Structure 1
């Protein structure tokens, strides 16, 4: 079996473990950038106050709905 590159965005033939590893590598690269990285799920996204509590410390400007 040939070795697969972890830099390839094509995960259609990757094993589940390889996909997880590739995501870890991608996240490590994002964390190395001079910006903040935040993750959220649908439950938090559907709660404006919970989402704001996550994004506000990251420096995301908030604006009120019109």
Structure 2
């Protein structure tokens, strides 16, 4: 699963299959801003789940 870029922001997901959790690291112009944590079921998080989390983050922070 690769990074997602939106309007100068970069969202880099990482996850642990063993622990069934993950995080999306948020960067703006190369500077780390925060980590958005999530959990999932199965062998890996679904791409739709990651994209929905990024969409929600963008909506909450006024990122187009």
Greater strand percent: which structure?
2
TM more than 0.5? no
Tell me the TM-score normalised to structure 1 length: 0.30
Q: Which structure has more RCO (C-alpha within 8 Å, separation ≥ 6)?
A: 2
Structure having the larger proportion of residues in helix:
1
Which protein has the larger Cα radius of gyration, Structure 1 or Structure 2? 1
